[in-house]
Structure 1
Amino acid sequence: MKKTISATIILLIIAFIWGNSYQAKSDSVQLSMFFTTNIQSILIKVGFHPNLKLMDTYVRKLAHLTEFMALGAVIYYTFKQIFATHIAKKSILLAICIASLDEVIQIYTPGRTATIADVLLDTTGSMIGILIIKSLLKLFD
């Protein structure tokens, strides 16, 4: 039962990630700017005056990192129930495949491009998620 729920969560996260990649550039920019402008207004209230364009770049990259942190954690948790060895390596390999396919999707999406840097960022996010869930699982074992 746990495996089925975990696998379903993995599929939902992948659907979310790839769904965002299918967005045309104008829609993607509009969505990220929604978050960026709201964060900027909060920062202005506390005395910071960030550059909106630069901040949007960081918001977009942080979104990549966060999505893949969640994905890496759930993949590791699921694989721990299935495999006895090399769980982290298998989890990272699957995350790299998902990140790579995410970038391939963007090649065929209007206005979007694929970058190796995003695959590396996504992989880093997955590795962070794996480290967090590994630590939590050890803590509660």
Structure 2
Amino acid sequence: MKKVISTIVILLIIAFIWSNSYQAKTDSVQLSMFFTTNIQPLLIKFGFHPNLKILDTYVRKLAHLTEFMALGAIIYYTFQQFFKTHIAKKSILLAICIASLDEIIQIYTPGRTATIADVLLDTVGSIIGILIMKGLLKLFH
């Protein structure tokens, strides 16, 4: 049952990631700016005065990182139920494939582009998620 549920969670995260990539640039920018404009006042309260456009870039990159952290963690959790060896390597490989397909989707989405930098950022996020999950599984088993 755990295998089925965790596999469904993987598919839901992939659907979420890819649905964001299908958004036209204007819709994507509007969504990230919603978060950016709500974060900026908090940063100002702490004495930071970030440029809105630069902050939005960080918000967008942080979104990539966190989406793939979650994905990497759940892939690792699921794969450790199916495989006995090279679980982290297999998890990273799948995450790279998903990130690459995510960028390919953006090639065909109006106003969007694909970048190797985003695939690398997504891979780093996945690796962080894998390490966190690996640590949690060791801690609780």
TM-score class normalised by the smaller sequence: over 0.9
Tell me, which stretches of 5 or more residues in structure 1 are unaligned? none
Task: Tell me, yes or no, if structure 1 residue 75 matches structure 2 residue 92.
Answer: no
Map 1:37-56 onto structure 2 (within 5 A): 37-56=37-56
Ranges of 4+ aligned residues in structure 1 off by more than 3 Å: none
- Indicate the residue corresponding to 2:11 in structure 1: 11
Secondary structure of the equivalent of 1:69?
Answer: helix
> Once superposed, what is the RMSD of the aligned Cα atoms?
0.5
- Indicate the residue corresponding to 2:109 in structure 1: 109
> What code does the residue aligned with 1:8 have?
I
TM-fit CA distance, 1:47: 2.3
- Indicate the residue corresponding to 2:137 in structure 1: 137
TM-score, normalising length from structure 1? 0.99
TM-fit CA distance, 1:96: 0.3
- Indicate the residue corresponding to 1:85 in structure 2: 85
- Indicate the residue corresponding to 1:25 in structure 2: 25
Secondary structure of the equivalent of 1:48?
Answer: coil
Question: What do the CA deviations read for 1:8-66 (whole angstroms, capped 9, x no partner)?
Answer: 00000000000000000000000000000100011122322111111100000000000
C-alpha distance in 2, partners of 1:12/1:139?
26
- Indicate the residue corresponding to 2:128 in structure 1: 128
TM-score, normalising length from structure 2? 0.99
Identity %: 85
Counting matched residue pairs gives 141
C-alpha distance in 2, partners of 1:43/1:76?
34
> What code does the residue aligned with 2:57 have?
T
